Every structure is written in C-alpha cells, then in structure tokens.
Amino acid sequence: MIEKNKNKFIEIFDDNIQRDGKEQLKEYLSKSDFFIAPASSKYHCAFEGGLCMHSIYTYNRLLSIIQNEYKEDWQQKYSAETIAICGLLHDLCKIEYYKADLRNKKINGEWVQEPYYKCEEVLPYGHGEKSVYIINGFLRLTREEALAINWHMGGFDYRVKGGSFSLSETFAKFPLALYLHTADLLATYVDEKRG
Ligand SMILES: [Fe+2]
Ligand SMILES: [Fe+2]
C-alpha cells in the first residue's frame, strides 16, 4: 500500500511537474518521512503512508473541481503542473512532524501500552505558509500557487481565527485557493471519511 501510493505520487509528480528544482524536491521527499508519515495524529489518514495518500486524494479532487468548473477550457485557466504542485505538495508542512510513540491507556481496569502519533514541531512556521516556505526552497511557485497553498486551510487557519481578512481577499482574487481548500475538505471528509 505505501509503495503503491508512493509510485502513484511519483507518477503524477513526474508526468506533470517540469519546473527547475523538481528533482531536488523529489530527492528531499524521498529522504524525508513524507511517504510513511500519517496525514494527522488521529483525525484523518492517521496511519503510515496517510500523508501521501491524502495528497493524492487532494490532487484528484482539485483536478476534477477545475475540470468541472471550466469544462474543455480548463487548461487555459490552470496548467496541469499548477494542479499537481498544489494538490500533491500543499501539506509538506507535515514532514517530520508526527512521531510514532507509545502511551499508557487503561482498558477494562488494566493499563496497556498503545501506539499513537505525537506532534513535534521543529520548524514553527505555521501550516500553509510553512508548506510554501519548504517548496520555495526547491522550486519557484507562481503567486497564485503560493497563495493557494498558503491559505489551503480556509477558515480553519489560525490567522483567520485571529481576525485576518486576507483569506477572503485571496478567495475573491485567486479562485485556485478556494478550489484547493475545497479539494482538501473533500479529500479529508469524503474520501478519507474523517471521524
Ligand atoms: Fe493542510
Ligand atoms: Fe491537506
């Protein structure tokens, strides 16, 4: 399963992304825990390989949203490369973030050890903004790609909760951000059946 999803991810990546720096980015992903990391500690895809799986689901959803929206003209609006970059790479902020550990839990009066993922932030740069920072270290994002990845959490973003209006300004001016947020939600709540 992990190997199959890794191959699928690399196939979509190679078929669609030709930008300078892509090989270095791919090497970074392969050396990191990206292909074995979970997508969350307990909510969705909280298992080995979950992050890669979630990224593929988000890419598929983003592609179908844009194709549905623009029909046969979709490639004049967004390139297949932009869709792959946003879908596949929006959650690179989760690399080296979830650490497998054991905790004690009382079940029927007995203490047992159960595995779980704990969060350990080594680069406290936020969420979407952290993904943009990591990706831009390898390949140059367009303004709309950077904004879409930056704001992919939509209204769940802490900056929005703190009163920022930049999200709605971004959604109004750069629809790709709205499509990526929607794709992320559909992947999480429909494809992965977040509990
Ligand atoms: Fe995310
Ligand atoms: Fe996501």
pLDDT for the residue 180: 98
Q: What is the CB neighbour count within 10 angstroms for residue 162?
A: 7
Q: How far apart are the first and last CA of the chain?
A: 21
The verdict on residue 135 lying in a domain is: yes
User: What is the CA(90)–ligand 2 centre distance, in A?
Assistant: 6
Q: Which residues contact 144 (CB under 8 A, 6 or more apart)?
A: 82, 174, 176, 177
Domain that holds residue 76: 2-96+127-191
Convert the pLDDT of each residue in 19-61 to its tens digit.
Answer: 999 999 999 999 999 999 999 988 888 889 999 999 999 999 9
Average pLDDT in the 66-77 region?
Answer: 97
Q: Is residue 108 domain-resident? A: no
* The total number of structural domains that make up the chain: 1
From 74, 126, 130, 121, select the one nearest 98 (Cα to Cα).
121
The answer to whether residue 117 sits within a structural domain is no
CA of 91 to the centre of ligand 1 (A): 5
User: What single-letter DSSP state applies at residue 21?
Assistant: T
The CA distance from 147 to 144, in Å, is 5
| Distance separating alpha carbons of residues 28 and 33, to the nearest angstrom | 10
Expressed in angstroms and rounded, the spacing between residue 145 Cα and the centre of ligand 2 is: 15
Report yes or no on 111 lying in a domain.
no
Q: How confident is the model at residue 195 (pLDDT cuts 50, 70, 90)?
A: low
What φ, ψ does residue 113 adopt, rounded to 5°?
A: -95, 130
In a domain, 85, yes or no: yes
User: What's the average model confidence in pLDDT over 169-185?
Assistant: 98
Confidence (pLDDT) at 170: 97
pLDDT of residue 117: 92
